[in-house]
Structure 1
Amino acid sequence: MSSHLNGDALRPRATVANGSSTKTLIPTNSVTTKDGVVKVRIDPTLMVADVVKQLVANLQIKQPPSDFALRDEDDELVTNENLRKMIKSKAKLKLVNSALVEAREIHEKLLLREEKSFRLALFSLQRYLHEEDFANEFLKRDGVRILVDVITTSYGNTLAYALTAMKNLMDLEYGWAALDSNFIFKVVQIIASPQSLINVCRPATAILKRLVEADPASAPGPLVASSSRSPPAAPPGSVYRYGFDVVFEQMRKEPGLLETVVSRLGTADTALALNSVMLINSLLAHATDTWWEVFISQLERLNTRKAIIHLMTSHTIEDLTSCVLDFQGNMARLIYRKKTTLVEPDVEETHAAALDYIWTNSHLQVETSPNGTPLKWRQLGFASENLSHEFSEAGVLGLDCLKYFVQSDPEFFSKVVQEQNSRPSQRQCPLARASNEVVELLSEYWDATSPVFQPFFLNFYKVHALATNFFLQMWNESGAAIADFTRVVALVRSQVKVALRQEHLRPWHEMVQDFSDCEYRGVRDRQMKELEEEDDLLSKIPVRNLRAKLYKESKEFVRQQRIHCLLEGAWFLNAVPVTAPASRRPARPWRFMRLDNSLKHLHYVDSQSKFPVRSGLEDLPERIDLALIIEIATANCALPSDGGGGSGPPPLVASPLSFSLLTSEGSLADAIAPDVSRWADWTDGLNMLRRDSGHVSSKETADFIQALTEIGLRIKLLDLSGDKVEIPSGLTAGPPPANSDFFFSDLYDPQ
């Protein structure tokens, strides 16, 4: 049935040019109902509820208008925000059940468990839960408990549908606080099972990640602190009541889980690999002191870094780049934490065991000094027998690096220490001290967050072993003595910069050659040229610490500037992925995007041409939920082809100024920026807004942060040099007070 309807809600009103006067003529939309198709003209100034009310009245439908909603042919819900777009594009609409009715019907089908309708209801549920009105209605009907029951008792595709529905429901910030430890353990079992299908593992992994991130400390708004020493407690009913400890307790009941997740980094299914990396990142970012050592040792035992490197080098697509950079950032925090953790062999069994392993493989005997003092660790190159003090700068990282150096070739280690101990004391290379110094050099080199993949950094222990061997080589070839230790350190620092340059572009074997295939004379000559160009002041520890502080401040300043650019909004060209058919073209070539003040949604409008966009969001009817974005892919889109004559359209060539906003289900936007500055503003700004991210992805932003850091550093140093302040190379803490008979006086300023 086809007819034309008129009424207060559906009245003609659009423009047709006629000389100097104009008339308004609204496009005609078709609306499919259960009785057929009707043609209507919808007033775009009305609310959707009013349009539905008028439709129901004109069609003489007996049910109340609240039972109905409008969707387009792709099942997208018509809302007040997208109604004008639907009218303008003459979208084919459908009069369908409202969220309330749909939730009620799906709820009934899930309870009945009649096979065909049950699976169809689950399939529809996945999509509808993205819509907040439906989700709220589903939650009112005890939907979470029903989904948990389905997940607990199902398998195969039915389980996949139920898990995906739960994952989508958990995108909300409320409504699922009743999930208990039994449910978490069930999800853990599903992920750990080798028999689980790929489409089951993907949503299950995403659910576990969301539970890890639902940490009381991550809850939006003010939190209720349980005590000064404990993490904040979640408010009543908040979903932020889980976190690392709650999830890891269940993970420990399934010892093979972490191994399975790491093994899936090598899967050919990109989406599953992506989910696995994201879960590992969330665990790393939220790990607490309670299980920190256990969790990190498991990751190290499973060679997770090696799996990440293989993942990055084996995939040519951009989807995984952001997650790998996040992992790299987590590793940087891990390295920093280890470096600042004291070595306490009298307290920590793992520290004592590592030192015992190092000493045993030296094959040395404890000697005694002429005054009867035992000489054990000094034979390995430490300055004293107090190992907590010896590792005070390098921390547990220094201990781990020295242990790895021994493990990589125990026979070589024994040979070196015995050879050094056979020399006069002034000519012995202090191997342990050299190892700790190399840790300092590498930490200094990799101090800043990088916008590019750093496979050498992820092989920190291996690079440390290579650089320590290089230290030994320079010591021997230069005939160095103890007084020359600082000079050899300077040589190694120079070589580190050369060997580790452009690591995202160079193969591993070239870096190895830079450390192994060089001679003292060549390294010394190059270093002398570098010293002519470099101020020795910049290498001092206080200045390096100042630079690190200024870097953090500069990064936060740039973050605020990038977000301000997003709030201002900008025009972009709509693009197509290079993997798309060359003949594909966007319906409208231009898109204006603007971030809202809540920093949660990106509002936009597509247009045939650019036009002045008013402030606010009135001109931007469409929006993108930033919580759905899992990747800001770059340099992966192209302008549509203009055709290629008789031979067909030419292949698409990716623009370096392109980027895509990717979700687990595809791209929400493919755009090309007008210039490099705009591209950097938006790609880094969007990355910095993501809940599980914060890395810098463009060279432009990284250079900007670095430039601000160096300018700030120079200004600070000018202040110091103007006052002729002497900057020490390091500070040594004095001895502790002999007793507690002292107090801190109050400083009194008479002014």
Structure 2
Amino acid sequence: MDDPPNVDTLVSGLVSDSESARKYAVFKLQGLLGDPSFADAFIQADGLLALRDAVMQTSGNTQAYALGSLDKLLELDIGWECVDALVIEKAVALAVGQPLVNIVRNALTLLVLVVSRPLGGARKDGSTTFGFRAIKPALDNHPNFLESLVHRLSAPDHTLCANALQLVNALMRDAVVNGGELEWPRFIKRLQDLGVIGGVGMLMRGDAANDAGSPLAAAILEFQGLTKLLLRKWKEVRVNVELHEHKKALKTIHLASNPQPFSPPDSNGEPGRKGTRKHHPEKWRRLGFETESPAWEFDETGYLGMMDLVDFTRRNGDTYQKILMEQSMQPVSQRCPIARASLSVTLVLYEHFEIDGSAVVEGGGHRTSLQDRVLEARASGNLDRLYRPLLLQWGRLHTAALSAFIRLWKAAGADLADFYKIEEVVRIVVERVIGATTRKTDVAKVEEELRSVSLDKARQWQMEGLDEVYEDAWGPHLVQIREQLHHESLQFMKEQRVRCLLEGSWFPTSAGGDAAWRFVRLSHNRRHLHYRNYASRGIDEPGLDDLPEKIDLNAVTSVDSNVSASEQPTALMNGDNSSTETLTDKPSPEPLKAATTTKITVIGHPPPTKSYILTPLQSEPVETVLLELYPQSSSLASEWLDGLLLLLNQQPITKDTTSLVSMMEDWGVRLRMLNLRWEDVDWDALEMSVKGERVEVREVPSRDGLDDDYWYALPET
């Protein structure tokens, strides 16, 4: 391997008249100037001026290498004295009109370094060589520079995309940090109008973002962080109606509502005359503000909330007017306050994307730390969760979420007292819908899901979320409570199922569907099953005295059945899909003539008889079938199978019983967690229809005026 050329040789090559010598010198410099000691020696040998001349006077690959060499020096924070207005002008011109990719890449890198340079980097003559102000004169000479820069984001060369996005990031950061309160919003809006959001969004969803070690991945993440910084900055800007931009925004919100001319009535109540037109007394309240001085209502959301509301009125002008017209016909308490709801949705999105919790992207060595974050995310399989392209679609998400707020308000029949309840439901919907997306999820799909979420689905999510919250908060306590409630629920179902057995039921004597029937009933002491076969099914239910055959439950060893496998088909065959039928007092429905395939087999030891004698080899009687039951519906099968199992101190196995136990257990947990009392329940809201009949709402008895001197009147026997 040849030894690298020394500094003097390279400097001589830079000032040589030979194009090949100059090209060789700048090519070698690119690799050597990364070494600080070599860079110092190069500057001591007066090579800086020669390198500047190469940047300004050469072309093609020689110019690309010269720019790359200068970039290496600037990255070491040396050599700034040669970066004057002419060099910046040259870099801007190359970035706009140069077709060679390698030249454009290095020119953009130079501009990134200039814009990102710390505030302390001022020249001795007082002129500045940092920030947006350093390149602004050159941009004035090239008005299409920003448009060209945004266009570079879609270039096929990923390094060029990365350099272009790094410059966009540097310009945005400098505008926010060093720009005035009025300057940076205008500059950011200009970039957005040029399509920077769409360009970066495509990069986020593309395959290039998977390359965790590339500068492009870090640049994308930096842009995402800057977007959060901008949202935070807009939220911190207080709304001031004295400012032209803020006053104009409020006027836009008002005019988009299509306000009608208002003339106050005269003293006789007649319509006012022409020329007496005034503002409507509810000019702002009719739009959903709480007062007629709406500026203070933006205190929590700042100018960000105003921007979101303006954006909604522009995107949904006709819908906005239609909603206001519909609500004007309703009582004030039942109208959805659109403006207030809009501000609420802004805060919901702000919390969802954790804007306040995000780190501010600063200059300096931030790019290395960003690359480390990308590498860590890829190693842990969370790369898709690191990028949040939907954050860039803030306006569309706000519009869709606000529309969902209004729709859920109508579906719930809410009034102003329910505002925070609907807000919480919308927060859950946003977490579920937006929180489940990946970096490749299209915003149109999210909008569609927000449009289609029903109130029932949202409430289901709300209850699931409640379980998760309390599960995290209570931990072992919930386990203990669930175990206790499961035992109580199981005991309740045992009593209910046993009561069904005490009432007795009719069963066909075989699966063939013949005319023979059998009535089976549990004895009052719950020790025997009484039964009798009949030629036909009777109208009345026989008493225990009419059932001579009986089985001692102590002799029963097991209960076998195919109910679990055939439960659902049997239910459908019999037109029975209710798991709570056994909780009603209605008689069992007439059985179908079709044959049943459901069978319950009671197995045990036969009763001892004179003819039955154990042999010496037999230690206990052989098990045999004691009784066979053919239930005609899934509910009847569930009652008898689980009832018999519970009598034998075994666990229920049918879906009907286990689902009822789970339901009672879940509701018991929720009631314990919410610590509800009788007087806490809004009984007016809980009135319901059961089987078409109105449930009577009884007043809670009061103990006012009562003492311990009371007695019970027992009925006479």
TM-score range for the pair, normalised by the shorter chain length = 0.5 to 0.7
In 2 relative to 1, CA 122–96 (structure 1 residues): closer, same or farther, beyond 3 Å?
closer
- Equivalent residue of 2:76, what SS? coil
Q: Which has the higher helix share?
A: 2
**Alpha-carbon distance between aligned partners in 2 of 1:369 and 1:476, rounded to the nearest angstrom:** 32
In 2 relative to 1, CA 105–527 (structure 1 residues): closer, same or farther, beyond 3 Å?
same
In 2 relative to 1, CA 110–391 (structure 1 residues): closer, same or farther, beyond 3 Å?
same
1:296 maps to a residue whose letter is: I
2:428 maps to a residue whose letter is: S
Matched, 1:531 2:466: yes
Aligned match of 1:503: 437
Q: Which moved more, 1:254-263 or 1:526-535?
A: 526-535
Aligned match of 2:133: 245
> Alpha-carbon deviations, 1:315-371, whole Å to 9, x = none?
244123222111111111111111111122322x33233333332222113658999
Matched, 1:182 2:86: yes
- Equivalent residue of 2:237, what SS? coil
In the TM superposition, what are the counterparts of 1:602-681 in structure 2 within 5 Å? Answer: none
CA contact (8 A) 1:366 1:375 kept: no
Aligned match of 2:203: 311
Matched, 1:401 2:335: no
- Equivalent residue of 2:239, what SS? coil
**Alpha-carbon distance between aligned partners in 2 of 1:210 and 1:138, rounded to the nearest angstrom:** 20
CA contact (8 A) 2:389 2:439 kept: no
In 2 relative to 1, CA 252–489 (structure 1 residues): closer, same or farther, beyond 3 Å?
farther
Match of 1:522 among 457, 471, 475: 457
Matched, 1:167 2:102: no
In 2 relative to 1, CA 235–248 (structure 1 residues): closer, same or farther, beyond 3 Å?
closer
1:209 maps to a residue whose letter is: V
**Alpha-carbon distance between aligned partners in 2 of 1:108 and 1:441, rounded to the nearest angstrom:** 64
In the TM superposition, what are the counterparts of 1:105-120 in structure 2 within 5 Å? Answer: 105-120=9-24
2:194 maps to a residue whose letter is: L
CA contact (8 A) 2:22 2:62 kept: no
Q: Which moved more, 1:318-327 or 1:357-366?
A: 357-366
**Alpha-carbon distance between aligned partners in 2 of 1:145 and 1:303, rounded to the nearest angstrom:** 39
Match of 1:431 among 324, 338, 343: 338
> Alpha-carbon deviations, 1:154-188, whole Å to 9, x = none?
33222212111111121212232342223222212
Displaced runs of 4 or more, over 6 A:
237-240, 368-373, 535-538
1:184 maps to a residue whose letter is: I
CA RMSD of aligned residues (A): 3.0
In 2 relative to 1, CA 314–360 (structure 1 residues): closer, same or farther, beyond 3 Å?
same
Match of 2:251 among 349, 356, 372: 356
**Alpha-carbon distance between aligned partners in 2 of 1:307 and 1:114, rounded to the nearest angstrom:** 43
Aligned match of 2:231: 335
**Alpha-carbon distance between aligned partners in 2 of 1:213 and 1:239, rounded to the nearest angstrom:** 16
CA contact (8 A) 2:81 2:123 kept: no
1:304 maps to a residue whose letter is: V
**Alpha-carbon distance between aligned partners in 1 of 2:264 and 2:50, rounded to the nearest angstrom:** 75
CA contact (8 A) 1:446 1:457 kept: yes
Gaps of 5+ in 2: 266-277, 360-384, 474-717
**Alpha-carbon distance between aligned partners in 1 of 2:60 and 2:72, rounded to the nearest angstrom:** 19
In 2 relative to 1, CA 505–180 (structure 1 residues): closer, same or farther, beyond 3 Å?
closer
1:286 maps to a residue whose letter is: D
> Alpha-carbon deviations, 1:562-606, whole Å to 9, x = none?
xxxxxxxxxxxxxxxxxxxxxxxxxxxxxxxxxxxxxxxxxxxxx
Matched, 1:267 2:159: no
Aligned match of 2:115: 212
Match of 1:321 among 217, 232, 250: 217
Match of 1:411 among 293, 313, 318: 318
State TM-score, norm by structure 1.
Answer: 0.53
**Alpha-carbon distance between aligned partners in 2 of 1:209 and 1:153, rounded to the nearest angstrom:** 22
**Alpha-carbon distance between aligned partners in 1 of 2:165 and 2:293, rounded to the nearest angstrom:** 40
- Equivalent residue of 1:112, what SS? coil
1:528 maps to a residue whose letter is: M
**Alpha-carbon distance between aligned partners in 2 of 1:496 and 1:265, rounded to the nearest angstrom:** 30
Aligned match of 2:99: 196
**Alpha-carbon distance between aligned partners in 1 of 2:111 and 2:406, rounded to the nearest angstrom:** 47
- Equivalent residue of 1:170, what SS? helix
What is the Cα deviation at residue 372 of structure 1? 8.5
**Alpha-carbon distance between aligned partners in 2 of 1:296 and 1:473, rounded to the nearest angstrom:** 33
CA contact (8 A) 1:135 1:169 kept: yes
What is the Cα deviation at residue 457 of structure 1? 1.4
State TM-score, norm by structure 2.
Answer: 0.55
Matched, 1:129 2:48: no
1:157 maps to a residue whose letter is: N
Aligned match of 2:54: 150
**Alpha-carbon distance between aligned partners in 2 of 1:163 and 1:104, rounded to the nearest angstrom:** 20
- Equivalent residue of 1:382, what SS? coil
Aligned match of 1:486: 420
**Alpha-carbon distance between aligned partners in 1 of 2:228 and 2:264, rounded to the nearest angstrom:** 41
**Alpha-carbon distance between aligned partners in 2 of 1:120 and 1:463, rounded to the nearest angstrom:** 54
**Alpha-carbon distance between aligned partners in 2 of 1:501 and 1:389, rounded to the nearest angstrom:** 31
> Alpha-carbon deviations, 1:526-548, whole Å to 9, x = none?
3134335537999xxxxxxxxxx
What is the Cα deviation at residue 249 of structure 1? 4.9
CA contact (8 A) 1:498 1:514 kept: no
Aligned match of 1:138: 42
- Equivalent residue of 2:75, what SS? coil
Aligned residues: 425
In the TM superposition, what are the counterparts of 1:520-599 in structure 2 within 5 Å? Answer: 520-534=455-469
**Alpha-carbon distance between aligned partners in 1 of 2:99 and 2:237, rounded to the nearest angstrom:** 40
In 2 relative to 1, CA 146–407 (structure 1 residues): closer, same or farther, beyond 3 Å?
farther
What is the Cα deviation at residue 373 of structure 1? 7.4
What is the Cα deviation at residue 235 of structure 1? 8.8
What is the Cα deviation at residue 505 of structure 1? 5.3
- Equivalent residue of 2:78, what SS? coil
1:289 maps to a residue whose letter is: G
In 2 relative to 1, CA 292–253 (structure 1 residues): closer, same or farther, beyond 3 Å?
farther
**Alpha-carbon distance between aligned partners in 2 of 1:466 and 1:355, rounded to the nearest angstrom:** 21
Gaps of 5+ in 1: 1-72, 74-93, 220-233, 539-751
**Alpha-carbon distance between aligned partners in 2 of 1:132 and 1:187, rounded to the nearest angstrom:** 24
1:172 maps to a residue whose letter is: L
CA contact (8 A) 2:205 2:389 kept: no
In 2 relative to 1, CA 243–505 (structure 1 residues): closer, same or farther, beyond 3 Å?
closer
CA contact (8 A) 1:362 1:417 kept: yes
Aligned match of 2:401: 467
In 2 relative to 1, CA 449–504 (structure 1 residues): closer, same or farther, beyond 3 Å?
farther
**Alpha-carbon distance between aligned partners in 1 of 2:315 and 2:471, rounded to the nearest angstrom:** 34
1:211 maps to a residue whose letter is: V
What is the Cα deviation at residue 144 of structure 1? 2.9
- Equivalent residue of 1:484, what SS? helix
Aligned match of 1:586: none
**Alpha-carbon distance between aligned partners in 2 of 1:535 and 1:389, rounded to the nearest angstrom:** 36
CA contact (8 A) 2:116 2:131 kept: yes
